[in-house]
Structure 1
Amino acid sequence: MAKKANSSNHCSFCGRSENDVNLLISGISGYICDMCS
């Protein structure tokens, strides 16, 4: 059985993953974290 890639969302500005920030806001073409907003 094939394994899924570890795909986590990340901030489009700083590159932090959703596990590294308190809040990750999704938009139409990307994400922004609480530290960059």
Structure 2
Amino acid sequence: MGPSLLIVLEIARLPRVIIHYDTGSDDLLCIASSPSA
């Protein structure tokens, strides 16, 4: 477990944030993980 794993997790999170915005679920997670919120 190192920085590379964290980077992969961050990249993998991006599509989820978009999906959450589309479905309207996990609003707090979207706000917390979106720099534009």
TM range (shorter): under 0.3
Larger % of strand: which? 1
TM-score of the superposed pair, with normalisation by structure 1? 0.20
Write 1 or 2 for the structure with the bigger share of helix: 2
> TM-score with structure 2 length normalisation?
0.20
